[in-house]
Amino acid sequence: MSRFVVAAIFRAMVPVLEAVPNFSAGRDPLLVDRLTRAALEVGADVLDTTADPDHNRAVLTLLGSPSVIEETAVVLARIAVDSIDLTDHRGVHPRVGSLDVLPLVPLIGVTMERAREIAHRVGERLAREVGVPVYFYAEASDPPGRGLAEIRAGGFESLVAGFAPERAPDLIPEGWTHPGVHPTAGAVCVGARPVLLAWNVEVEGLTLEELAELAKDLRDRDGGFEGLRAMALPLDSRGRMQVSMNLEDVRNRKPFEVFRALEDQVRSAGGAVQATEVIGLLPDELVFGAAADRLALLDRDPSRVLSSRLIEHLVGRLGNEIENLAGVVKASGTATPPEVREAVQRLRDGTT
């Protein structure tokens, strides 16, 4: 096996962790640009940047190795805490922090358990180095499954003057003297979770009250779709209203069924769907579901999607090559440097 093949395998099998930090800053393009450049400088790959003035919120989609994502999170949190004052923040989206939420999503060579460990390490650094209280949610909470809604109920304003014992952050910086969360930066919610679909559907022809009732019928906690969070919001800058939704664990759900139900209910109430906005990248599950429905595909098996099968094929081939490489390393014994043996073992662990 040539050194070029070995190098390619090592590059290809580096563990990949996604982070989707949400900042309470959708009206300051210079700050969003600064956050983006800072992430790139640390070494993260910035796949997408979204900023919305009505939500007054910006979302970055980042990929990198666990160590790069950890360092990027700390750097971006420091910028957010220094630059975003929540006492002067207005927007329709709920928030408790300048860096409001920081979900970590395991993608390649990273288990959910490891993502949870990284989330806890990041949270500890944010409390210790950045000086901001931390709440853990989703798979990072203890026990797992804590929702953002219960943390953000009442928003930043309900936590800054003080908090009841049951709403105390999981981590508070050493020597904390404030009665509540950080007086201008609030707290940050750090989580570990599967891939999530964050999307907004713009609607016209209905009142905000009608749309709120519709969102209530759809969301999980009121008996609707499992894993769906939904709320109706006004978009003053566009003269429209919006159903803002998060669909958890999208790989095991059917997002287009959610969209069709929303569309049908809007029509029945006398309104119309105008546009759909996806925050971050488009999940295959949404695109394939929509295409299968609109094209009336006879075979709707997701395994027939080329991109999924290609990735599966490549990962399988890489796994075989890594096993071959492990055999070469084992046969060479002490002639192989310890760091190479350790790296090969990490690669093998990442493919199982």
Written as one letter, the residue type at 72 is T
Which of 286, 277, 285 has its CA nearest to residue 50? 277
CA max distance for the chain: 75
* Phi then psi dihedrals of residue 348, to 5 deg: -65, -40
Q: Which amino acid is at 279?
A: I
Is there a catalytic annotation at residue 178?
A: no
Distance, in Å, from the CA atom of 42 to the CA atom of 46, rounded to the nearest integer, reads 11
Which of 89, 93, 120, 182 is catalytic? The answer is: 93
Is the backbone of residue 205 left (phi > 0), alpha (psi -120 to 50) or beta?
Answer: left
Per-residue burial over 108-145, b if 16 or more Cβ lie within 10 Å, else e, is bbbebebbbebbbebbebbbeebbbbbbbbbbbbeeee
Measured CA to CA, the distance from residue 241 to residue 204 in angstroms comes to 6
2 by Cβ neighbours in 10 Å (0-12 / 13-18 / 19+) ranks as exposed
Q: Is the peptide bond before 143 cis (omega within 30 degrees of 0)?
A: yes
Residues known to be catalytic: 93
